[in-house]
Amino acid sequence: MNLILLGPPGAGKGTQAKRLETARGLVQLSTGDMLRQAVASGSALGQQAKKVMEAGQLMPDEIIIAMIAERIDAPDARKGFVLDGFPRTEAQAEALDRMLAGRGRRLDAVIELVVDEAALIERISGRFTCAKCGAGYHDKFQPPKKPGVCDRCGSTEFVRRKDDNPETLKARLEAYRAQTAPIVPYYRRKGLLKEVDGMAAPDQVTGAIEAILARIATA
């Protein structure tokens, strides 16, 4: 099964992609990870990508598509893949369709994690973790049982991601709306778009995705 997960930063795409990997044997495809791996490998494609990166230029669509094509041809991708973070434009979506068709493959679904932006900002900006053991907390939804003390290890040191602040999050959401959201109508027209409430608990989101995939499998 070949899937795309859509949704703004913090919607939970990474979490759900990992769960699909475990439950269904799909391969999570992150274009950022693939670029780094290609460069590190020293392959012809990696050398091309390295030159573009060193020049400070935007990565051409054809290089990204070629990397995806190379990756999905690998034996471990025979059960399918989950794309997270690509495509971002209609041109990329069309190029992806052409590449897949050339390999006798197609997308089975494009799942959009729909969020309430104001609630998402509150959810993300309140996150923090224990600096010692990595246990996760939230100012409002999951504070430590004893203020200032980690429930798991007793440490009193906590850290927050620098980009988990309202200003940065608003900018990232605006960028998502401008760059990626326009491909939603493209996939809706193709009948591939499925919507899931991204504000639900992770287990509920997983259940909703699995229900969609079960319907597709029996269609």
* pLDDT computed for residue 112 by the predictor: 95
CA 151 to chain centroid: 30
Q: How confident is the model at residue 114 (pLDDT cuts 50, 70, 90)?
A: very high
- Cis bond before residue 87 (omega within 30° of 0): yes
* Geometric angle at alpha carbon 75, from 103 and 193, rounded to 5°: 55
Return the CATH fold of 2-117+183-217: Rossmann fold (3.40.50)
Which of helix, strand or coil describes residue 193? strand
In the predicted model, what is the mean pLDDT of residues 14-42? 89
Cα dihedral sign for 16, 33, 130, 22?
A: positive
Mean pLDDT of the chain: 92
Structure tokens at 99: 């590449």
The answer to the question of whether 158 is labelled as a binding residue is no
* pLDDT computed for residue 176 by the predictor: 84
* DSSP bridge partners of 128: 137
* pLDDT computed for residue 123 by the predictor: 87
The answer to the question of whether 123 is labelled as a binding residue is no
- Helix axis angle, 13-24 relative to 202-218, nearest 10°? 50
User: Measured between alpha carbons, how far is residue 30 from residues 39, 84, 152, 199 in Å?
Assistant: 14, 6, 32, 22
Q: How confident is the model at residue 32 (pLDDT cuts 50, 70, 90)?
A: confident
* pLDDT computed for residue 172 by the predictor: 86
Report which of 129, 124, 80 is spatially closest to residue 106, judged by C-alpha positions: 80
Q: Is the pTM of this model over 0.85?
A: no
The answer to the question of whether 22 is labelled as a binding residue is no
- In percent, the amount of the chain with pLDDT more than 70 equals 100
Radius of gyration of the chain (CA): 19
Q: How confident is the model at residue 5 (pLDDT cuts 50, 70, 90)?
A: very high
Statement: residue 66 has pLDDT above 90: yes
The answer to the question of whether 32 is labelled as a binding residue is no
For the annotated catalytic residues, the residue numbers are 13, 88, 127, 161, 172
Which of helix, strand or coil describes residue 82? strand
Q: How confident is the model at residue 162 (pLDDT cuts 50, 70, 90)?
A: confident
The answer to the question of whether 153 is labelled as a binding residue is yes
Q: How confident is the model at residue 164 (pLDDT cuts 50, 70, 90)?
A: confident
Structure tokens at 156: 């009193």
Reported as a single tens digit per residue, the pLDDT across 169-206 is 899 888 888 878 789 999 999 999 999 999 998 999 99
Q: How confident is the model at residue 83 (pLDDT cuts 50, 70, 90)?
A: very high
Q: How far apart are CA 12 and CA 120, in angstroms?
A: 10
Q: How far apart are CA 171 and CA 191, in angstroms?
A: 30
Which of helix, strand or coil describes residue 35? helix
Reported as a single tens digit per residue, the pLDDT across 120-156 is 999 889 999 999 999 999 999 899 999 999 999 999 9
Q: How far apart are CA 212 and CA 219, in angstroms?
A: 11
Residue with tokens 């992609």: 17
Q: How far apart are CA 126 and CA 161, in angstroms?
A: 10
At position 88, the amino acid (one-letter code) is R
